[in-house]
A and B are shown apart, each in its own frame.
Chain A
Amino acid sequence: MKFWISCAIALGGAIALAAILKNEYFFFAGYTVLMFIVLATAWNILGGYAGYVNFGTPAFFGLGAYTAAVLFKAFELPLALQIVAAATMSGLLGLGAGLLTLRLRGIFFAIATIALVVIMETLFINWRYAGGATGLQLLRPPPTAPFESYIKMLFVVMAALAVIAVAIARYIETSWLGRGLRAIRDSEEAAEASGVPTLKLKVFACTVSGALMGVAGAPMPMYLSFIEPASTFNLNYAIGALASPMIGGTAHYIGPVLGAILLASFQQIVTVTISNEVNVLVVGVMLVVFVVAAPDGILGLLKKIPWKRS
């Protein structure tokens, strides 16, 4: 109950901001932060709960973005349907990639996911209809009422998607599914011996995780009015999606949210005040600091502080 009230407050807050604030840049930056909440939450389902480190975020994210862009170009599909289609495509990619690669363990799985990014990028570079290497210019339709600007609408849409993503992660985490995934992370042999269908569960996590990454990518073409392969399949998405849960904490669904808010806001501030190059450095430094000083992330730090009344 508390969770759903918090969700309603978060979403209500986003709508209120869209109604009150006039500065468009706030929504432009806020969209990115919310997008990273979705990416980090999605990543954590496989990477945090099951312990399978996925560097392939850009492949799922990019496929989602391109699915939306191509459907918009071909049929002028509305945004909601673009998102559903992106989730389906990226979910299918997760299913296929999971079946092929999740028999590999640890580092070998991680390597396979990097290959996935290269494959997807090459595919779209060579697809002329989707713009090839030069990209595709897209003309935004007018925003749907009651929104006065498209960027504000995207901001609220992404806030809703973030709430949905966190709710899904929370459901998985607190149910038998989450316990099975944690068992896999702790010991795959013991999990299997305890009746956990490890391969099925990993493929399930990879599918859900992939679908949510696709969802995060779907509004991107409309956000930029443009799409091209190099920036869409950029490894920065992989790093952001991985670093946020590491910084926030992987054990609880709120960890990736905290991490993404902290990291993505900081990156936005640095991009504006210093430079875009330094922003990449920030991720690196923060990741190193947290891995060394707080291996269980912010949540791990909070647990150590005896602040609860006894």
Chain B
Amino acid sequence: MEALLKVREVSKHFGGFTALSQVSLEIGRGERFGLIGPNGSGKTTLINCISGALRNDGGSIEFDGAEISSLPAYQRTRRGIARSFQIPRPFTSMSVLENLVVPLEYVQHRGTLHIADTRAEALEILRTVGLQDKAQTQSNRLTQVELRKLELARAMAARPRLLISDESMAGLSGNEVDEVLAILRTLNEAGITIIMIEHIMQAVMRFSQRVVCLDAGRIICEGTPEAIVKNPDVQRAYLGA
């Protein structure tokens, strides 16, 4: 499989604290990739470095053959990296539909299309996540699971090639987890590469083709979901020695 994203020896420090040290990984086109690790292991920091919310201190990040680690986040989004946020960050002053119009206008149709067109497109995306009935609802009135879906829908509206789902299932019930998993699976079948960060082990294990486990800013293990669960280092990281 040809790599879509190449992360090479990426480090990130916050003052004296090393959040990531020399992390390297490759993610292939169309892959379903799982990123796990205990709290504070650097998962979200790594995602922030890839999406551009943070700049990495050392190493390089290549997306689709081009170095992107010096690009601002919005340009990475335009190149095809979209993300959802662990704590949903809807545009609260806007309706659900309008939340999607923002990436549609700023990524896909920069200054070319009229609102009517992007609205039809936004509705189409809302339909795929099952939020079409909420299109006109103010986004600060959504329930937790609806907010998670909105996060994914807004990321989809940027028409990404790589979608990073940062704990999209945290705090959801079993049925709701299945719903979100189904959405991600559909996206993957449409050709979108997906990185899933998750605490809910069962979800990651069911979804991912390959899993990497981070602990204290280092990759401690990489392999198939089955191999990861059996790995003694992973067990130690999660349960303690």
Chains A and B are bound partners: yes
Within 8 A of A (CB), among B65-100: 72-75, 77-78, 82-83, 85, 89-94, 98
Q: Which residues of B contact A197 (CB under 8 A)?
A: 72, 74-75, 106
A176 in contact (CB, < 8 A): yes
Q: A180-B102, A194-B107, A197-B72 are in contact. Are A187 and B158 (CB under 8 A)?
A: no
Q: Which residues of B contact A186 (CB under 8 A)?
A: 89-94
Chain B nearest CB: distance from A255 CB in Å? Answer: 14
Q: Which residues of B contact A270 (CB under 8 A)?
A: none
1/0 per residue, CB under 8 A from B, across A154-196: the answer is 0000000000000000000000100110110111011111111
B53 in contact (CB, < 8 A): yes
Question: Cβ of B91 and Cβ of A182 under 8 Å apart?
Answer: yes
Q: What is the bound-complex CA distance between A193 and B86, given in angstroms? A: 13
Question: Cβ of B77 and Cβ of A195 under 8 Å apart?
Answer: yes
Q: Which residues of B contact A191 (CB under 8 A)?
A: 91, 102
B111 in contact (CB, < 8 A): yes
| Size of B's binding interface in residues, CB under 8 A | 30
Q: Which residues of A contact B34 (CB under 8 A)?
A: none
Q: What is the bound-complex CA distance between A190 and B103, given in angstroms? A: 10
Q: Which residues of B contact A183 (CB under 8 A)?
A: 91, 94, 102
A251 in contact (CB, < 8 A): yes
Question: Cβ of A195 and Cβ of B93 under 8 Å apart?
Answer: no
A90 in contact (CB, < 8 A): no
A198 in contact (CB, < 8 A): yes
Q: A186-B91, A193-B83, A195-B74 are in contact. Are A179 and B51 (CB under 8 A)?
A: no
Q: Which residues of A contact B98 (CB under 8 A)?
A: 179
Question: Cβ of B94 and Cβ of A194 under 8 Å apart?
Answer: no
Most interface-central of B82, B90, B103, B154 (chain A CB within 10 A): B103
Question: Cβ of B85 and Cβ of A189 under 8 Å apart?
Answer: yes
Question: Cβ of B91 and Cβ of A195 under 8 Å apart?
Answer: no
Q: Which residues of B contact A195 (CB under 8 A)?
A: 74, 77-78, 102-103, 106-107, 158
For A185, the closest partner residue in chain B by CB is B93
Question: Cβ of A179 and Cβ of B73 under 8 Å apart?
Answer: no
Q: What is the bound-complex CA distance between A190 and B52, given in angstroms? A: 12
For B52, the closest partner residue in chain A by CB is A192
Most interface-central of B52, B93, B94, B155 (chain A CB within 10 A): B93
B101 in contact (CB, < 8 A): yes
Chain A nearest CB: distance from B21 CB in Å? Answer: 24
1/0 per residue, CB under 8 A from A, across B48-63: the answer is 0001110000000000
Question: Cβ of A182 and Cβ of B72 under 8 Å apart?
Answer: no
Q: What is the bound-complex CA distance between A197 and B107, given in angstroms? A: 10
Question: Cβ of B89 and Cβ of A187 under 8 Å apart?
Answer: yes
Q: What is the bound-complex CA distance between A180 and B107, given in angstroms? A: 12
Q: Which residues of B contact A182 (CB under 8 A)?
A: 91, 93-94
Question: Cβ of A190 and Cβ of B106 under 8 Å apart?
Answer: no
Q: Which residues of A contact B75 (CB under 8 A)?
A: 197
Q: Which residues of A contact B77 (CB under 8 A)?
A: 192-195
Q: Which residues of A contact B103 (CB under 8 A)?
A: 194-195
Q: Which residues of A contact B157 (CB under 8 A)?
A: 194
Q: What is the bound-complex CA distance between A244 and B101, given in angstroms? A: 30
Chain A nearest CB: distance from B2 CB in Å? Answer: 25
Question: Cβ of B91 and Cβ of A176 under 8 Å apart?
Answer: no
For B88, the closest partner residue in chain A by CB is A190
Q: A176-B106, A194-B154 are in contact. Are A189 and B91 (CB under 8 A)?
A: no
20 A-B Cβ contacts within 8 A? A176-B106, A180-B105, A182-B93, A186-B90, A189-B53, A190-B85, A190-B90, A190-B154, A191-B91, A192-B53, A192-B72, A193-B73, A193-B158, A194-B102, A194-B103, A194-B107, A194-B154, A195-B74, A196-B106, A197-B75
Given A179-B102, A192-B73, 10 new contacts (CB under 8 A): A186-B91, A187-B89, A189-B53, A190-B154, A192-B72, A193-B77, A194-B106, A194-B154, A196-B106, A197-B72
